[in-house]
Amino acid sequence: METARQFVDRHLAPELADIGRSGAPPENPKSRLQELLQGRGHPTPSYRLIGREGPDHSPVFSVEALVGEQILGIGEGGRKSEAEHAAAKEALENILSGSCSLAQESNCTVRRNRQEERQATEQAVKPSRDRWFGRIVGLLRSPRLDDAVWDEIEEILISSDVGVETSLRIIEQLRERVKAGQLDSPDAVTDALKQALTQDLSGDFEGLLPSDDGASKPYVILMVGVNGVGKTTSIGKLAHHFSESGKRVVIGAADTFRAAAAEQLEILGERVGVDVIRHAAGADPGAVAYDAYQASKARGADVLIIDTAGRLHTKSNLMEELRKIHRVLNRQDTSAPHEVILTLDATTGHNGLVQAKSFNEAVNCTGIFLAKLDGTARGGIVLAIRQELQVPILFIGTGEGMGDMAPFDAEDFVDALLAPV
């Protein structure tokens, strides 16, 4: 199956270069969308009017851009053409960002709340921007970018937990470019810094998209991580996220070590309207995983999320236990677990990375849920994680509520960090 990212790379990226990640929108998104889809075996996009009266009785048009029955984008406007324009533009952006796949078999989950996600990211990143990165934006506006200024910027990057090596490399490259006269205004230097950071953070991750082909249903997510990092809360958020996009979700409470763990999940499950499979405290976690898988099958669930214990690995056979759960799931479906997500606590900085490495050695982690990003001013840790673990950050935790998360988006993140103060 072609993933969204592959589709974009193969067909769309060159053609959409002009609306690129930070570029200007096309003049006429409607005809652009049409052009792109035509001749590629995709149906012609259509537009569905779904609302027509604003609160003060003035017309507000709300339009969905569809391909077949897949909603690719939603737009609003005071005129129908404006709303269509906005819907087509969002569709193009969704395709480009990989949050929406056009591959026939795959399931398109439109990020309807793109704006909300961006705001959540901005909010979570605010302490880091206020404390550290905003100063960089100011320094780049200095009348002369001399050695003292570069040193200070370098120090700020390091203080924000970016990591020494990465900070030195990025600053060195910027300096060279300024010296070579390639960047001749503060804005140009700031943009170049943004680009460098974004590039460091992007990978080939194309989004968690549980497949609709039935073969790998349920889509199994194994959640691992040390106690206290925010794992159970993050499971609740993921369950909420998937269930909101129309997926049927089951949670397996395989942290049987702490009596309170299953209860906490049950409460979260109830809150977000998702079934939780649990055994008595002290039960075999492998057996819970097995039962949760069977229940998911029986109930036709799309996604199964398994919570695991997180007592400190050095003092126990936790890693062996995780490997066993992994084997149990893999025996049910040879492609399961489809994701092994490591929850990290952003507030623990580089200490968290040490733990992360040992988890990664025991069970190959496919992605990271970075919880509590809102609780630290050292948001630079995101770069260190990407650098040292080579595992993509999939989601960020932006608060304690079930809706307080966002899919990690390198560009949103960097834009928020270096937004003008």
* Residue 61 or 408 having the CB closest to ligand GDP: 408
* Residue 107 or 232 having the CB closest to Mg ion: 232
How far is C-alpha 344 from the geometric centre of its chain's CA atoms? 14
* Residue 167 or 232 having the CB closest to ligand GDP: 232
CB of 251 to Mg ion, least distance (A): 12
* Residue 233 or 366 having the CB closest to ligand GDP: 233
Which of 418, 420, 416, 421 lies closest to 398 in space, CA to CA? 416
Which of 352, 399, 360 lies closest to 226 in space, CA to CA? 352
CB of 238 to ligand GDP, least distance (A): 12
CB of 136 to ligand GDP, least distance (A): 25
Tokens of 243: 């269930």
Q: Binding partner of residue 230 among ligand GDP, Mg ion, none, CB under 5 to 8 Å per kind?
A: ligand GDP
Which of 5, 35, 227, 242 lies closest to 102 in space, CA to CA? 5
Helix (H) or strand (E) holding 72: strand 70-77
- DSSP SS3 for 64: strand
Q: What is the DSSP letter of 43?
A: P
Task: Tell me the CA distances in angstroms from 235 to 50, 125, 135, 225, one per residue in order.
Answer: 33, 22, 35, 12
CB of 234 to Mg ion, least distance (A): 9
Count of chain residues binding Mg ion (CB under 5 A): 2
Can you tell me which residue has the tokens 């929108």? 25
Residues 326, 408: Cα–Cα separation, whole Å: 25
* Residue 149 or 283 having the CB closest to Mg ion: 283
**Which alpha helices (DSSP H) does 16-146 contain, by range?**
29-37, 80-97, 114-128, 134-139
CB of 299 to ligand GDP, least distance (A): 24
Neighbouring CB atoms inside 10 A of 172's CB total: 12
Strands 61-67 and 70-77, by their bridges, are: antiparallel
CB of 253 to ligand GDP, least distance (A): 11
CB of 396 to ligand GDP, least distance (A): 7
Q: Binding partner of residue 207 among Mg ion, ligand GDP, none, CB under 5 to 8 Å per kind?
A: none
Q: Binding mask 376-405 vs Mg ion (x if CB under 5 A, - otherwise)?
A: ------------------------------
Q: Which residues contact 114 (CB under 8 A, 6 or more apart)?
A: 90, 93, 94, 99
* Residue 114 or 231 having the CB closest to ligand GDP: 231
Q: Binding partner of residue 400 among ligand GDP, Mg ion, none, CB under 5 to 8 Å per kind?
A: ligand GDP
Neighbouring CB atoms inside 10 A of 320's CB total: 9
Angle at 351 between CA 345 and CA 356, to 5 degrees: 65
Q: Does 62 bind Mg ion (CB under 5 A)?
A: no
Q: In the complex, which residues of this chain contact ligand GDP (CB under 6 A)?
A: 225, 227-233, 310, 371-372, 374-375, 397-400, 404
* Residue 105 or 400 having the CB closest to ligand GDP: 400
* Residue 100 or 340 having the CB closest to ligand GDP: 340
Q: Binding partner of residue 337 among Mg ion, ligand GDP, none, CB under 5 to 8 Å per kind?
A: none
CB of 291 to Mg ion, least distance (A): 19
Residue from 101, 166, 167, 232 in contact with Mg ion (CB under 5 A): 232
Chain residues that interact with Mg ion, rule: CB under 5 A = 231-232
